[in-house]
Amino acid sequence: MHWRCNSTARLVDELHTGAPEEAERARLSLEVLTPIAKSWPSEWCLEANSLAIQILGGYGYTRDFRVEQHWGDNRLNMIHEGTHGIQGLDLLGRKAVMNEGAALNIVLERMRISARETKAVESLSEMSKQLIEAVELIALATQQAWGTGNAQESLANSTCYLRAFGHVVIAWIWLELALTSHRVIDSGSVAVEFHRGKLAAARYFFTYELPLSAVWVQPVARREALLREMQPQWF
């Protein structure tokens, strides 16, 4: 979970040391990113633990390897961080619309700036394009979710919104890492192989993970009614 510490810690530094305008932008960015920084790692790091067990097969459930213990320990994070449902409600119900969407727009614009900076690098231009498309999907889904102004309709799929937004934020971080690795490789550093691995990891996320965000925002954008219409007596 080091990424959330580094990314949000930098914003905390800007909040306390930046000029008034910069500090306010950092504060608003933190408001939007905090539910994601709490929720995304707790969900997907557990998935990494689950895959580690799967790779080891039956041995993954034994104490011969540590992954069984890691899974049990990390499962608590999803509870400690306030549960995904609460974080999703906070993100879409409060943070995305606070100050008439100003906080959300600041974060989305930060992503756009990163994508534009990376677009000039030929090997990263496709990822840059994918990030821009994902950012615009989040912006549109937010607007459509609140299209009727009815909070029950808007928030029924807020967990999907949290999951989609979280993947877009991680893609943003991977794109910045990819740009750094590209520059290191071009410089002729001895750490070339390490940074080639980083580029491959970034491409993996953009190829296999980021496209899921486009699926997750669909029920958000159309204010899918299924979840809010469920009745206790149906179970």
Residue-wise pLDDT for 95-138, tens only, equals 999 999 999 999 999 999 999 999 999 999 999 999 999 999 99
- Total structural domains in the chain? 1
**Residue 19: which pLDDT band, with cuts at 50, 70 and 90?**
confident
Most trustworthy range by pLDDT among 12-26, 50-64, 74-88, 154-168: 154-168
Residues near 92 by beta carbon (within 8 Å), at least 6 away in sequence: 142, 145, 154, 155, 158, 161, 162, 220
**Token pair 């979970």 in the structure block, residue:** 1
Question: For 57-124, where are the alpha helices, taking DSSP H only?
Answer: 67-75, 77-80, 84-90, 102-119
The answer to whether residue 7 is domain-embedded is: yes
Mean pLDDT rounded to a whole number for the chain: 91
pLDDT at 17: 83
pLDDT (mean) for 50-76? 85
The answer to whether residue 30 is domain-embedded is: yes
Residues near 210 by beta carbon (within 8 Å), at least 6 away in sequence: 130, 131, 134, 167, 168, 171
The answer to whether residue 73 is domain-embedded is: yes
Distance CA 8, CA 6 (A): 6
Is pLDDT of 155 > 60?
A: yes
The answer to whether residue 200 is domain-embedded is: yes
pLDDT at 189: 80
pLDDT at 6: 65
Determine the structural domain holding residue 206 and report its residue range.
Answer: 2-229
The answer to whether residue 45 is domain-embedded is: yes
The answer to whether residue 235 is domain-embedded is: no
Predicted TM-score of the model (pTM):
0.91
Cβ–Cβ < 8 Å for 180, 104: no
**Token pair 């040391």 in the structure block, residue:** 17
pLDDT (mean) for 167-171? 97
